[in-house]
């Protein structure tokens, strides 16, 4: 409905050297509204900013170069010396990055697909705050080869950077969209185009019109991925309903290990009474789960995402 100020937020991540920029470029060419975490991190500590002044106060004037700009290697040498220094650095930069990200997100026109390009999305536990998380995956040895031979990075430096990031398993656990980048950049771009046309655009349009995506009804054999998907959706729903629910759990056929079922994840949300259930309708709809029916014992919402089949049963 027109009353929903609709945008959908897509979080894009992947290990260093995985090929995120190819996907970002493909989405941006198709009209995605780009919010670049790395760029924001640089902006908030440019010369003349309060951010840079705070860093100098915390770590000393030695972190500046001759021109008065931030000398990153020099800051890194001090900030990563120990846990306390790293926490101090984060306590200065994270709030500034968060505020600027919010500002840019708020400025996106209605109907936008906001692409939030975040290298450390998994490490920062940010996945539940997106309508959809896209992960670009490339095997670590291929990434190492790219970093060393294409970007000219020192091999030990490249190895330690890869090791410091989330594992493939951790990324897979949050991925709604898994883009495989083991071949040519064109093949990755083609996957991104297909995801844009077949998934992101319909998802955005469904959220805008308050429409649930069609649900599959055919029973299929048990898929071990259902448990991970259930957990991901539970986390997403918690992010949307906040402290208004007393429980959010994966229930129904897909929650039973080994059981064949139609591939639909059922989520039960328990609230104190139906006035609370009704007050959550807009947040759930904007978050990608429009209301599909109201009965005396539950409010049923369902996923607007054509690639993720979910029913949300809100009960008092």
The pLDDT, as a whole number, for residue 2 is: 45
What pLDDT, in 10s, does the model give residues 77-106? 888 888 899 899 989 998 999 899 999 999
Confidence check: pLDDT of 4 > 90: no
* Pairing mode of beta strands 33-36, 132-137: unpaired
| In the predicted structure, residue 1 carries a pLDDT above the cut 70 | no
What confidence tens digit (pLDDT) does each residue in 48-75 have?
999 999 999 999 999 999 999 999 989 9
Report pLDDT for 143. Answer: 84
Specify the pLDDT at position 165. Answer: 83
* pLDDT at site 138: 87
What pLDDT score does 182 carry?
A: 84
Q: By mean pLDDT, which of 37-46, 109-118, 152-161, 287-296 is the weakest?
A: 152-161
Question: What mean pLDDT is predicted for residues 120-128?
Answer: 91
CA distance 235 to 202: 23
Residue among 229, 252, 261, 260 at smallest CA distance from 300: 252
Residue 9 tokens read as 């937020």
pLDDT above 90 as % of the chain: 76
Statement: residue 3 has pLDDT above 70? no
Set out the domains of the chain in order of their start, with CATH numbers.
8-207 (3.40.50.300), 225-315 (3.30.460.10)
Query: E strands of the chain, at which residues?
Result: 8-14, 33-36, 113-117, 132-137, 177-180, 247-251, 265-270, 291-294, 299-302, 310-315
Nearest to 242 by CA among 127, 128, 130: 128
pLDDT tens string 242-287: 999 999 999 999 999 999 999 999 999 999 999 999 999 999 999 9
Q: What is the pTM of this model?
A: 0.89
First to last CA, the chain: 26
| pLDDT, tens digit, 9 for 90 and up, residues 165-215 | 888 899 999 999 999 998 888 999 999 999 999 999 999 999 999 999 999
């Amino acid at each position: 409905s027109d009353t929903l100020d609709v945008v959908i937020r897509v979080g894009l991540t992947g290990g260093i050297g995985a090929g995120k920029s190819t996907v970002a470029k493909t989405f941006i060419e198709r009209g995605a509204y780009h919010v670049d975490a790395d760029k924001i991190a640089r902006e908030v500590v440019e010369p003349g900013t309060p951010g840079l002044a705070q860093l100098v106060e915390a770590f000393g004037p030695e972190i500046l170069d001759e021109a008065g700009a931030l000398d990153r290697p020099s800051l890194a040498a001090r900030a990563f010396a120990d846990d306390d220094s790293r926490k101090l650095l984060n306590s200065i930069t994270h709030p500034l990055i968060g505020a600027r990200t919010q500002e840019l997100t708020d400025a996106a026109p209605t109907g936008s697909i906001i692409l939030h390009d975040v290298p450390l999305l998994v490490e920062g536990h940010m996945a539940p705050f997106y309508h959809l998380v896209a992960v670009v995956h490339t095997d670590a040895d291929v990434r190492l080869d790219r970093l060393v031979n294409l970007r000219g990075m020192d091999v030990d430096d490249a190895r330690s950077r890869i090791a410091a990031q989330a594992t493939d398993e951790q990324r897979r656990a949050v991925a709604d969209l898994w883009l495989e980048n083991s071949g040519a950049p064109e093949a990755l771009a083609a996957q991104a185009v297909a995801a844009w046309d077949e998934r992101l655009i319909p998802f955005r349009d469904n959220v805008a019109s308050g429409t649930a995506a069609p649900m599959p009804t055919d029973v299929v054999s048990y898929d071990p991925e259902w448990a991970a998907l259930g957990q991901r959706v539970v986390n997403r729903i918690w992010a949307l309903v906040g402290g208004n629910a007393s429980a959010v759990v994966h229930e129904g056929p897909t929650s039973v290990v080994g059981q064949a079922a139609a591939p639909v994840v059922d989520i039960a949300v328990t609230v104190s009474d139906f006035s609370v259930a009704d007050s959550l309708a807009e947040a759930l709809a904007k978050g990608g789960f429009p209301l599909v029916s109201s009965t005396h014992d539950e409010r049923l919402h369902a996923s607007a995402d054509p690639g993720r089949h979910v029913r949300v049963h809100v009960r008092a």
